[in-house]
Amino acid sequence: MKTHILVIEDETQIARALKVELEYEGFQVTVEHDGKAGLETALQSEIDLILLDVMLPGLSGIEVLRSFRKENSNTPVILLTARNTT
């Protein structure tokens, strides 16, 4: 069985690039584009890793992470951000 990665990213081009590259490496990838849908998928599916954007519509990545951790403390989560500091 392939490792299942959930990408929660609202930027379509970034989400598409992550999906293509991860699938090329042999992973099963599910993409959600907002916090609420991402949280629902994370809680309802068997996910091995979550790549989570910090800035999302609906629920922020931090809100998604807090809610997810109340139900699941084992799945690794990597937070992504494209914030510009200049």
25-43 pLDDT, tens digit per residue, is 999 999 999 999 999 999 9
Above 80 in pLDDT, residue 83?
A: no
Residue 4 CB neighbour total at 10 angstroms: 15
Give the mean pLDDT of the chain: 95
Q: Tell me how far apart the alpha carbons of residues 83 and 77 are, in angstroms, rounded to a whole number.
A: 18
Protein fold of 4-80: Rossmann fold (3.40.50)
Residue 75 tokens read as 């799945």
Domain spans in the chain, listed from the N-terminal domain onward: 4-80
pLDDT of residue 57: 93
Q: Tell me how far apart the alpha carbons of residues 22 and 50 are, in angstroms, rounded to a whole number.
A: 12
Residue 37 tokens read as 């849908």
